[in-house]
């Protein structure tokens, strides 16, 4: 039922949906000509029903995203509590509590909430990341009060016993075994993250380290719940066939009764900050289960929340131009041109309270090997640092963003996730709404400057996933760092 999410990479267009952006542009865009794609986009945005927001007396922030095309609503509750907030030695507790939130309350036994959602034809799920944990349901509009009541109830009345906690601990350990311990690619990813983040808890896997997960207790779960699952540390987002007045009335009737019981504090101030990198690092995982080698490189960059004005948007455009799809530079050079890559791409994972990540990935085609892929990627990076990108490349990247924004509006859940992730990582509704304008303000010079500043080897960790040598097929996996 539940799942956890890494700080993973994707193309600019994919990140737009899951990772809303926040930094302000350096200069205001000029008013576009009425016949341009940007102008049509601005006109469509102006016609969209506006987002509403208010705060309950107990501190719960509420956001309403009206969409009256169908009698359906999506409710999401976002807690500003992720794996990067965990106390040392309790890695995985954020994700563990996500599981335990389905174990029942003082008024509703385990399974009753989920059964109620299923009986009315609805859907539900939950997910945990480094920065937040969220729960959602999509149901008929007339059932909104019902799911709001259930969700408000488990915000303060969760019942945790050893009988519920200990078997669920076995569940998350099995989840780790299946998703990570039995997957060399996931193991390498964990090692890369640990090497990239030398001071921050972003280097700790969301699911947790196995030896610490094995010791998680009922007391750990209750302490996490009592500290972070309080209305003043949460955001309620309702998207769909509702009005702000309807949501406010129902929110006060349900969530408004939940007592404010903790003050989690300023997470950004409490968290450790990464020092400026001084040395490039490499991580190599060799495993007999690997049948296809692969390459990755991840750079430490500012996030949407910490970037200087215009930087996050420039990094988004840079990722799109270099590796955002079949028309990107890397794809055209390494897949189409030289025929040495089965796939290649770039991403800017910038939705975070603290540091972000910019990365590349590639898989060789046939017997090509990793070395020419790495050289080809380095060559394209050097070209951008020296000569920048073209005006045509910039316009194409902007056009893909415009289209992605339009497609996103077609999904209640995607839209709610975009706002929820932003509000849970230090950004605002205005930041989300102004993203297209800030992308329009990006210049070729800004993209070149971003490449020069942040795509430096000393800021990176390179990962190599390799098959075991034929002579050592029976040997266990080995992990080398340098």
Give the catalytic positions in this structure.
Answer: 98
Integer Cα distance of 205 and 96 in angstroms: 13
Integer Cα distance of 355 and 187 in angstroms: 22
Question: Angle CA(257)–CA(259)–CA(261) in degrees, nearest 5?
Answer: 165
DSSP-based three-state secondary structure for 212:
helix
Place of tokens 């049948």: 291
Residue 415 Cα distances to 74, 227, 359, angstroms: 10, 28, 25
- Given a contact cutoff of 8 angstroms between Cβ atoms, the answer to whether 178 and 207 are in contact is no
Residue 140's contacts (CB-CB under 8 Å, 6 or more residues apart) are 71, 72, 73, 120, 121, 122
> Could you tell me where the DSSP H helices lie in 199-310?
210-213, 218-228, 244-253, 267-270
Residue 31 CB-density burial (10 A; 0-12 exposed, 13-18 middle, 19+ buried): exposed
Residue closest to 86 by CA, chosen among 180, 170, 4: 4
Stated as kind and residue range, the H or E segment containing 16 is: helix 12-18
Residue closest to 299 by CA, chosen among 321, 277, 284: 277
* Residue 252 CB coordination number (10 Å): 16
């Amino acid at each position: 039922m539940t799942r956890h999410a890494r700080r993973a990479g994707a193309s600019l267009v994919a990140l737009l949906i899951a990772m809303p952006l926040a930094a302000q542009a350096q200069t205001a865009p000029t008013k576009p000509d009425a016949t341009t794609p940007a102008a049509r986009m601005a006109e469509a945005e102006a016609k969209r029903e506006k987002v509403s927001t208010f705060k309950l007396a107990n501190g719960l922030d509420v956001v309403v995203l009206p969409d009256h095309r169908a009698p359906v609503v999506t409710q999401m509750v976002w807690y500003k509590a992720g794996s990067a907030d965990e106390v040392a030695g309790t890695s995985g507790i954020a994700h563990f509590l996500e599981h335990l939130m389905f174990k029942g309350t003082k008024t509703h036994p385990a399974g009753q909430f989920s059964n109620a959602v299923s009986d009315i034809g609805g859907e539900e799920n939950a997910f945990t990341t480094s920065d937040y944990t969220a729960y959602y349901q999509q149901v008929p509009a007339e059932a909104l009060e019902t799911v709001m009541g259930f969700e408000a109830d488990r915000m303060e009345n969760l019942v945790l016993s050893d009988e519920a906690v200990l078997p669920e601990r076995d569940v998350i350990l099995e989840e780790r075994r299946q998703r990570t311990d039995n997957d060399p690619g996931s193991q390498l990813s964990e090692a890369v993250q640990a090497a990239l983040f030398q001071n921050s808890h972003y280097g700790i896997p969301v699911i947790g380290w196995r030896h610490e997960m094995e010791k998680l207790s009922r007391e750990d779960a209750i302490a996490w719940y009592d500290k972070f699952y309080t209305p003043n540390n949460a955001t309620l987002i309702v998207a769909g066939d509702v009005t702000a007045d309807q949501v406010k009335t129902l929110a006060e009737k349900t969530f408004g009764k939940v007592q404010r019981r903790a003050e989690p504090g300023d997470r950004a101030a409490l968290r450790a900050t990464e020092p400026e990198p001084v040395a490039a690092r490499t991580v190599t995982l060799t495993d007999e289960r690997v049948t296809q080698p692969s390459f990755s490189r991840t750079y430490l960059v500012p996030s949407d929340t910490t970037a200087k004005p215009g930087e996050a948007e420039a990094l988004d455009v840079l990722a799109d131009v270099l590796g955002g799809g079949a028309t990107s530079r890397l794809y055209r050079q390494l897949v189409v041109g030289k025929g040495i890559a089965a796939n290649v791409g770039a991403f800017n994972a910038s939705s975070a309270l603290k540091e972000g990540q910019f990365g590349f990935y590639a898989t060789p085609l046939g017997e090509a090997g990793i070395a020419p892929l790495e050289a080809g990627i380095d060559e394209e990076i050097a070209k951008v640092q020296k000569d920048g990108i073209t005006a045509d490349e910039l316009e194409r990247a902007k056009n893909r963003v415009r289209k992605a924004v339009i497609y996103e509006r077609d999904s209640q859940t995607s839209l709610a996730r975009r706002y929820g992730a932003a509000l849970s990582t230090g950004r605002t509704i205005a930041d989300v709404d102004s993203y297209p304008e800030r992308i329009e303000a990006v210049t070729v010079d800004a993209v070149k400057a971003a490449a020069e500043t942040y795509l430096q080897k000393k800021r990176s960790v390179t990962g190599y996933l390799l098959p075991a040598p034929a002579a050592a097929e029976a040997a266990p996996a080995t992990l080398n760092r340098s």
